């Protein structure tokens, strides 16, 4: 069984996650990469044979994504985590989970 993963954020950490998931993790496949920089998302996605988007919520809603890795800017983490949970998708998030205790 292959788990199809979406990665939100194509900066240094996101790119590392995509590379590791696509090349070193048995049973994992990167299906989508999202980043606000469309060219960067496309470049990172192409290296993994994945689709790219500038809309992280599109990635979260996709039926071709089983689980999500969040490596975007810290200020986006809490919202994307909640979106993943509402969509019933397992999520791994880079730290911090949120910028403040309230979130």
Set out the domains of the chain in order of their start, with CATH numbers.
3-93 (3.40.50.720)
Give me the pLDDT at residue 102, please: 83
Give me the pLDDT at residue 97, please: 87
DSSP 23-86: HT-TTEEEEEEE-SSHHHHHHHHHHHT-EEES-HHHHHH-TT-SEEEE-S-GGGHHHHHHHHHH
Would you write out the chain's pLDDT as a tens digit for each of its 103 residues?
A: 899 999 999 999 999 999 999 999 999 999 999 999 999 999 999 999 999 999 999 999 999 999 999 999 999 999 999 999 999 999 999 998 888 888 8
Instruction: Say how far apart CA 32 and CA 44 lie, in whole Å.
Output: 10
């Amino acid at each position: 069984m292959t788990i199809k993963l979406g990665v939100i954020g194509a900066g240094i950490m996101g790119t590392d996650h995509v590379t590791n998931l696509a090349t070193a993790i048995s049973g994992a496949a990167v299906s989508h990469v999202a980043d606000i920089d469309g060219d960067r998302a496309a470049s990172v996605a192409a290296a993994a044979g994945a689709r790219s988007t500038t809309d992280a919520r599109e990635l979260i809603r996709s039926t071709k994504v089983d689980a999500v890795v969040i490596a975007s800017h810290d200020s986006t983490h809490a919202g994307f985590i909640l979106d993943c949970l509402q969509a019933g998708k397992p999520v791994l998030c880079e730290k911090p989970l949120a910028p403040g205790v309230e979130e």
